[in-house]
Chains A and B, each alone.
Chain A
Amino acid sequence: MTEIGIKSEPAAGFTLRQYLVCLYGVVWREALRFVHQRERFVSALVRPLVWLFIFAAGFRQVLGISIIPPYDTYVLYEVYITPGLMAMIQLFNGMQSSLSMVYDREMGNMRTMLVSPLPRWFVLTSKLAAGAAVSVLQVYAYLAIAWFWEIEPPTPLGYLTVLPALILVGLMLGALGMLLSSLIRQLENFAGVMNFVIFPMFFASSALYPLWRVQESSPLLYWVCQANPFTHAVELIRFSFYEKFDPLAFGVVFGCAVVFLGGAIVAYDPARGMLVRKGQ
């Protein structure tokens, strides 16, 4: 799918420097936006902390009765949901970047981006990388706070091993957001994304409860959870936070990232994408 994006562009033979200028421009813009929107950073932090301190406090007695990989012993509910909350930060961030794409389109900034002579896939990937970097920063800020409550990997090495997982999940969820943003006509419709994407993805996953628990109550829901890429994003983070590797989760997250990004590149292709179909 990536090739389609490249072929549709008349661009060839750009130097590395030109690519870097583009990447720098996109990332810098995203960074500025991030720095200037302090509320966004704070809210990105407050959301998981509310879950951690309020939701988890109410549920702590419900769990902690079974040992499942990657854990070696019993864990408190706060410890269990932390990878889920890390993924939640990235999910919201991915959706927020999709929101910003819609905003850009409404405000006209999108045109500036899309008339870039560089290949579209590169512009979109740069945007994606910038979004993922921001989400990784937010996750580490959350982990820094959680550390004070002894929510941490078994050894500090876990903070390092989780980084590749966070980057991959950030890219996957960002790409999903990008794909969705091509489908949304107006800013107001973002509430729909909330209802139809964020909540189902988050709740029908292993973020809040282990899947064996889900299976006990509903085998169907268990399969829905298994099919949910967000479940695998959470598990990838959970395992790598504990210095372990889950090949299935990695495969699913990586595959979904490629598919979503490919879809976004097609969707943003003015010649054949959703923009045309939607008459924009």
Chain B
Amino acid sequence: MQTEIKPQAAGARSGARNRRLTSRVRANRFAALAMTGVIPAAIFANCATPAAAFTAYVTNEKGDSVTVIDTDKMETTKTFPVGKRPRGIVVSKDGAEIFVCLGDDDAVAVIDTKTAKRTAKIASPDPEQLAQSPDGTRLYVANEDDNRVTIIDAQTHKTTTQIPVGVEPEGVAVSPDGKTVVSTSETTNMAHFIDPDAKKTVANVLVAARPRYAQFTPDGRELWVSSEVGGVVSVIDPDKHAVTGKITFDVPGLVNEHVQPVGIRFTKDGKTAFVALGPANRVAVVDVQSKKVQKLLLVGQRVWQLALTPDDKYLLAVNGVSNDVSFIDVAALKVVKSVQVGQLPWGVAMARQ
């Protein structure tokens, strides 16, 4: 891994921060040692005190299914059919339902998490990604072919509004206060700011080529948009609607074309960001404040979407080509395990169960 940390070693200015990071990593490593020492004990202890186990749902784009993963055991528990070409996925706030975009069925599937059965199918043309409002009442779906963002009532499963955006909308993000929805259009290369209550676009911000995914920082003060072809993450001020910075990724030994940032996740404290780099087979760890890449973690092939467990302990990275999900220990910043899932896994969502 020596070249992995070279970017930080090279930047003499960031030396102090790197040392801090390293010492944090090392300190956590000793904690991990203490943990592993008690693993056999913990297995027995598990029987007495149920650990906070979370469930991850992974959509398999080619397998037309959803794979369920126990994040505690790091094992798949089941795989069930869902519909044609499932991609974007979210879990309802109460964890009772999951919503899955079915691209080739022109619908959003509603699935009961208890029975793993589809309870409803909401018609929506070629949906790719979706996001839900912070209160969980509304779903925002990007309809790729229709160049629209659709608002769906999460309770009644009815489409309430359709808002036109740029060509091939894909990423959808909702600000933490729920007052702003952002959609990224792959062909127009823009992030469209939508006021969900006024039901209209309020601003369009030009970003690098083929924006795939957008995510607000937990404090809502920044919007990060990843550009697959541009190979950068654009940092946008959501109030001024202006690009304030760009994050580039240099993977040693790889040509830049292979660096295709897609999924973005922030830890709850808003200090660390993870960016999936697609065919670079790496997840970049970015310091949110300095916007510097701290580390590159090797995962499977063509990593796109990411999800953090609710306790921020693990990050799950979905590797499309190698058909698996890599578990990253967030504290240690280490890939600990890769678990096989269905064919061409695409998206991942986490439930507190």
Contact = CB atoms under 8 A, between A and B. Distances in A.
B47 to A, nearest CB: 23
Given A155-B32, A155-B33, A157-B36, A78 B1 contact: yes
Interface in A137-158: 149-151, 154-157
A220 interface: no
Nearest to A60: B253
B201 to A, nearest CB: 41
Interface stretch (B134-142, B210-218, B298-306): B298-306
Nearest to A58: B253
Interface string B18-51: 0000000000011011001100000000000000
25 contacts: A52-B2, A53-B2, A57-B253, A61-B253, A64-B281, A64-B298, A65-B301, A65-B322, A67-B338, A72-B338, A73-B299, A73-B335, A73-B336, A73-B337, A74-B298, A74-B299, A74-B300, A76-B1, A78-B1, A149-B1, A151-B1, A154-B336, A156-B29, A156-B33, A157-B33
Contacts of A156: 29-30, 33
Interface in B326-343: 326-327, 335-338
Interface string A50-84: 00110001001100110100001111101100000
A149 B301 contact: no
B5 interface: yes
Interface range, A side: 20 to 34
Contacts of B337: 72-73
A61 B251 CA distance: 11
Contacts of A76: 1, 4, 298
A248 to B, nearest CB: 24
Given A73-B326, A76-B1, A157 B335 contact: no
A27 to B, nearest CB: 32
A14 to B, nearest CB: 43
Interface string B225-259: 00000000000000000000000000001100000
B33 A74 contact: no
B3 interface: yes
A67 to B, nearest CB: 6
Contacts of B338: 67, 72-74
A67 B254 CA distance: 21
A150 B4 contact: yes
Contacts of B33: 155-157
A8 to B, nearest CB: 49
Contact of B335 (A53, A60, A74, A151): A74
Nearest to B33: A156
Interface of A: 52-53, 57, 60-61, 64-65, 67, 72-76, 78-79, 149-151, 154-157
Interface in B141-197: none
Contacts of A75: 298
A74 B36 CA distance: 21
Given A64-B298, A75-B298, A157 B37 contact: yes
A76 B6 CA distance: 15
B282 to A, nearest CB: 10
Contacts of A67: 324, 338
Contacts of B1: 76, 78-79, 149-151
Given A151-B1, A151-B2, 7 more contacts: A65-B322, A73-B327, A73-B337, A75-B298, A149-B5, A150-B4, A150-B5
A266 B60 CA distance: 63
A151 B2 CA distance: 8
A72 B281 contact: no
Nearest to A56: B2
Of residues B1, B5, B301, which shows the largest number of chain A Cβ atoms within 10 Å of its Cβ? B1
A156 B37 CA distance: 10
A20 B215 CA distance: 70
Contact of A61 (B29, B254, B335, B336): B254
B278 to A, nearest CB: 15
Given A74-B298, A74-B326, A74-B338, A57 B37 contact: no
A65 B300 CA distance: 7
B151 to A, nearest CB: 39
A163 to B, nearest CB: 16
A72 to B, nearest CB: 4
Contacts of B336: 72-73, 154
Interface in B1-17: 1-5
A57 B36 contact: no
A78 B37 contact: no
Interface string B276-304: 00000100000000000000001111000
Contacts of B254: 61
Contacts of B298: 64, 73-76
A53 B2 CA distance: 8
Contacts of B327: 73
B329 to A, nearest CB: 10
Contacts of A157: 33, 36-37
Nearest to A57: B3
A219 B281 CA distance: 30
Contacts of A60: 3, 253
Contacts of A73: 298-299, 326-327, 335-338
Contacts of A150: 1-2, 4-5
Nearest to B300: A74
A224 B157 CA distance: 64
